[in-house]
Amino acid sequence: MEDLISDLVRDWELQYTIRPGYIVHTKYISDPARGVRRMAIEEKWERGDAKALGHGTFGTVWFERCTSGPSAGQVRAVKQIYKNFSPMSVSAKALSGELSAIMKFSHELYRHCFVQSFGWYDSLDYLYITMEYLPRGDLSRYLKNPLPEAEASLIVLQLLEGLEIMHRNKFAHRDLKPNHAGPNWWVKISDFGTTKQIETTVLRTGVGTETYQAPEVRGIFTPADMADNTERLFPLAVDIWAVGAIAFRMATGRTPFGAPRDLYAYVVQGSAFPFEESLSAECNAFVSSAMHASPKQRPSAAKALSHPWLNLASSISADLHEEIVVPVEDLNLGAENSTVEASAEWPTASSGINVKTDSFIKASGTSKSNTPRVSLLADVSANTWIGVRPEPPNDGKPPPEEGFEFQQKKIGSSPCATNANQTSEKLRNPRAQALRVGDRHDGAIVSTAYSPDGKTLAVCTKYAIHTYTMGEDGQFNDMDTLRNPAWQFIECMAVTDRRIVALTRKLGGNHSLELWRKRKGHYESKHTQPLRADELYFDAWALSQDSTTLVLGCNTTSKYEPHIRAFHLSARDELLSLLSTKLEKRVKYIMVSPDGRQFAAHAVDSIGSTIWRSPSRTTFEQFQQLSGDVISFSADHSLLAMMSEDDKVVLLRKNILGSYEEIQQLWGQEPNMAAFSSDGTFLATIQARPRSGVAIWVKNVRGDKFDETWILPSQGDVVSITFSPDAQQLVIGSIEDATIWRF
């Protein structure tokens, strides 16, 4: 990253020394009146007992207070970004670009439009960006009802003022969304992770929030634009569309296009713009102009500022005193989030820091007698720090912790509660916690697993097993790391409340079962169960999630033909044989159900797989032949996911006779991995390239189909996806990192 930093950004670098519990910045001042040309002064900044203001995939935001030095008594927000980049994480170029934008628009000339930064510093692993702390709430907390047009026009006017400055300097924001409280507003923009300087005529990356995302970013064009051989994407016009959507949302309490098909009809089929009769003609004209179907026809920010509707802003008093942070990015309201209402009500004042942050910080509200000064913050950090809010509180309580950006496909009444019967409960937006897993010596991640009580998470890498325990705050913290220098690598792993079981290969090639018992909150090695190499030369294996069943596909040896063997691991750690049968061909792939009562085996050069089931805990029998490879069982065996012959993910459901039959094909998904939640209401799959991420599907009310609901980003190629036992979390393991998503 060092080579990418411009001279402008370098001038904002802070000198620092980290001490236990605080950080010291060294600054240099001059005092010509006293004949002092250069004098070093120190400032001490402490976090104290304050909790983090927010967490994200790539970092954390902290609240800090200066306790000594010229700035004593002042406070700030510090955005801490993890910069040891994995292939899909935030890049050095992206961080450099964010720094450039932040420092450029932190100039005093732009203070009225942008949240200021005080500088940055970095360590070996982290980049730190210091920002002004604005101790008021954000717009979404106070929008309980649609705003009067005059207030909405004032917000839009100030937002356009900031965008006009950005556009004039060839920066596109790309992720605008509304936020704050009236009647007097002072709008600011902040956090430039998705902001991009325009070096060509187009921006092709699909960042931004779908509710406010221009159609061309989603790949939807008018017929005329499709026929035009010139570039179809106009990056600055993307921001103007978002401004129009924000204006409509604030004035009406809803978004103009409630469903993707409505947007498609407007842009592609030429349907009329959905004007709102309750709005003035000027407001409707402004919104429809800003949201013109063709980006070529949208006004520039400078031209939009001269629209007659914005003259309404002059009817509002300019007596503005207090700043309020308004994360433009974060509101994510409208048809996609039908649980959120708008309002202009203020909660009573409260003490303490109630902070919601992506790269912005906020505190609890003020009284109705206050005339707040509002900062309209856009979380423009889709590449570095993205927040997701479930529902903005309107009761004065602290907003929930933030997560990272996801793409939300559908929201509303949905069967995504904690069990299949609660089909009317609302979906909640995911939020996430990133885990740092071991070091480069531990190798790539192999698998992930929760204990049945959900309080322990294990991440298995090639050479070690890392365990984490859930703290009182719901976050997972490091517990134990299990290693053995004799291991060549770990094949698979299972976790229960009392033990961890792993199948390992030793340096000499022999395999063993390793068992650790949990004692006093930690896992201690109990014993190793060798698997004799002369009898078990195998190249396919699987452990059930409950650690009770081990299935091995054994290759040809001098003593045995190809065969499959299944074992039961008792509560006393005894390995008991359940099945040993010869096969015509060797097994290359095995999938075991979570409870170990069923498994599917796929043989080399064969079409499909064979399902074996255990009528009792003492044996297995062949049950059904399928045309594809099973990649996941639901906990109750009622559903399974399969890779079809034409490489699609196919869902099958057990019929009244007990056999599996196809119910649905999932398009655009990698066919090698899937995971069901324990209650069978969620399904996770991997998106096929060139897209990336994990798709979350939710079972519909009838229970006969899954609908794609969220797209969760991943930091690299996904190697493991696992739901927690209560179906409230999903851990995504990539090659080097693991991320826990909470629903």
CATH code for the domain in which residue 172 is found: 1.10.510.10
Task: Evaluate whether 256 touches 273 at the Cβ level (below 8 Å).
Answer: yes
- Residue at which a domain ends, from 405, 427, 458: 405
> Which one-letter DSSP state was computed for residue 687?
E
Q: Which residues contact 348 (CB under 8 A, 6 or more apart)?
A: 365, 367, 396
CATH code for the domain in which residue 37 is found: 3.30.200
Q: Which helix (H) or strand (E) holds 116?
A: none
Three-state SS annotation for 159-199 = HHHHHHHHHHCCEECCCCCCCCCCCCCCCCECCCCCCEECC
Q: Is residue 508 part of a domain?
A: no
Are 79 and 223 contained in the same domain? no
- Lowest-confidence segment of 164-168, 208-212, 384-388, 674-678 by average pLDDT: 384-388
24 pLDDT tier (thresholds 50, 70, 90): very high
Q: Which residues contact 260 (CB under 8 A, 6 or more apart)?
A: none
Q: Which residues contact 409 (CB under 8 A, 6 or more apart)?
A: 707, 708, 709, 710, 711
If you average pLDDT over residues 646-671, what whole number do you get? 87
Q: Is residue 531 part of a domain?
A: no
Three-state SS annotation for 436-487 = ECCCHHHCCEEEEEECCCCCEEEEEECCEEEEEEECCCCCEEEEEEEECCCE
Task: Evaluate whether 68 touches 46 at the Cβ level (below 8 Å).
Answer: no
What gap in Å lies between CA 481 and CA 330, rounded to an integer?
A: 37
Q: What per-residue confidence (pLDDT) applies to 46?
A: 92
Total domain count, the chain: 3
What gap in Å lies between CA 539 and CA 551, rounded to an integer?
A: 11
The tens digit of pLDDT for each residue in 541-583 reads 888 988 889 988 877 665 667 888 888 888 888 888 888 888 8
Q: Which helix (H) or strand (E) holds 34?
A: none
Give the neighbor-by-neighbor strand order of the sheet with 487-495.
Answer: 487-495, 499-506, 511-519, 522-531
Q: Is residue 723 part of a domain?
A: yes
Q: Which residues contact 711 (CB under 8 A, 6 or more apart)?
A: 406, 407, 409, 687, 691, 693, 694, 695, 696
Q: Is residue 15 part of a domain?
A: yes
Give the best-scoring range by mean pLDDT among 332-336, 365-369, 638-642. 638-642
Q: Which residues contact 496 (CB under 8 A, 6 or more apart)?
A: 451, 452, 546, 547
SS3 281: helix
Q: Is residue 158 part of a domain?
A: yes
The tens digit of pLDDT for each residue in 195-246 reads 444 433 333 333 445 677 888 888 788 988 887 755 555 678 888 998 999 8
Q: Is residue 394 part of a domain?
A: yes
Output the average pLDDT for the chain: 73
Q: What per-residue confidence (pLDDT) applies to 300?
A: 93
Are 326 and 245 contained in the same domain? yes
Are 283 and 232 contained in the same domain? yes
371 pLDDT tier (thresholds 50, 70, 90): very low
Q: Is residue 384 part of a domain?
A: yes
Task: Evaluate whether 23 touches 126 at the Cβ level (below 8 Å).
Answer: no
Q: Which residues contact 162 (CB under 8 A, 6 or more apart)?
A: 113, 114, 187, 188, 189, 376
**Who has greater pLDDT, 354 or 168?**
168
55 pLDDT tier (thresholds 50, 70, 90): low
User: Is the whole-model pTM more than 0.75?
Assistant: no
Write out the DSSP string of 62-114. EEEEEEESTTTT-EEEEEEEE-S--TTS--HHHHHHHHHHHHHTTSGGGTTTB
- Residue at which a domain ends, from 96, 130, 164: 130
Give the best-scoring range by mean pLDDT among 26-30, 81-85, 432-436, 493-497. 493-497
Q: What per-residue confidence (pLDDT) applies to 67?
A: 93
Are 212 and 347 contained in the same domain? yes
Are 214 and 164 contained in the same domain? yes
Are 45 and 177 contained in the same domain? no
Picking from 724, 93, 642, 716, the residue whose alpha carbon sits closest to that of residue 452 is 724
**Helix locations, 352-456, DSSP H:** none
The tens digit of pLDDT for each residue in 297-336 reads 999 999 999 999 998 876 654 444 334 343 333 323 222 3
Q: What per-residue confidence (pLDDT) applies to 240?
A: 92
SS3 238: helix
Are 390 and 415 contained in the same domain? no
Q: Given a cut of 50, is residue 111 above it in pLDDT?
A: yes
Task: Evaluate whether 204 touches 395 at the Cβ level (below 8 Å).
Answer: no
Q: Is residue 212 part of a domain?
A: yes
Q: Which helix (H) or strand (E) holds 243?
A: helix 235-252
- Residue at which a domain ends, from 106, 130, 154: 130
- Tallying the residues shown for the chain, one arrives at 743
Are 178 and 250 contained in the same domain? yes
Q: Domain containing 9: what range?
A: 2-88+118-130
Measured in whole angstroms, how far is the alpha carbon of residue 512 from the centre of its chain? 37
What gap in Å lies between CA 496 and CA 571, rounded to an integer?
A: 11
Are 286 and 179 contained in the same domain? yes
472 pLDDT tier (thresholds 50, 70, 90): confident
Are 326 and 379 contained in the same domain? yes
If you average pLDDT over residues 154-166, what whole number do you get? 84
Q: What per-residue confidence (pLDDT) applies to 692?
A: 72
Picking from 179, 166, 235, 248, the residue whose alpha carbon sits closest to that of residue 206 is 235
Where does residue 623 rank: exposed (0-12), middle (13-18), buried (19+ CB within 10 A)? middle
Are 213 and 78 contained in the same domain? no
Q: Given a cut of 80, is residue 52 above it in pLDDT?
A: no
Q: What per-residue confidence (pLDDT) applies to 655?
A: 83
339 pLDDT tier (thresholds 50, 70, 90): very low
Are 156 and 272 contained in the same domain? yes
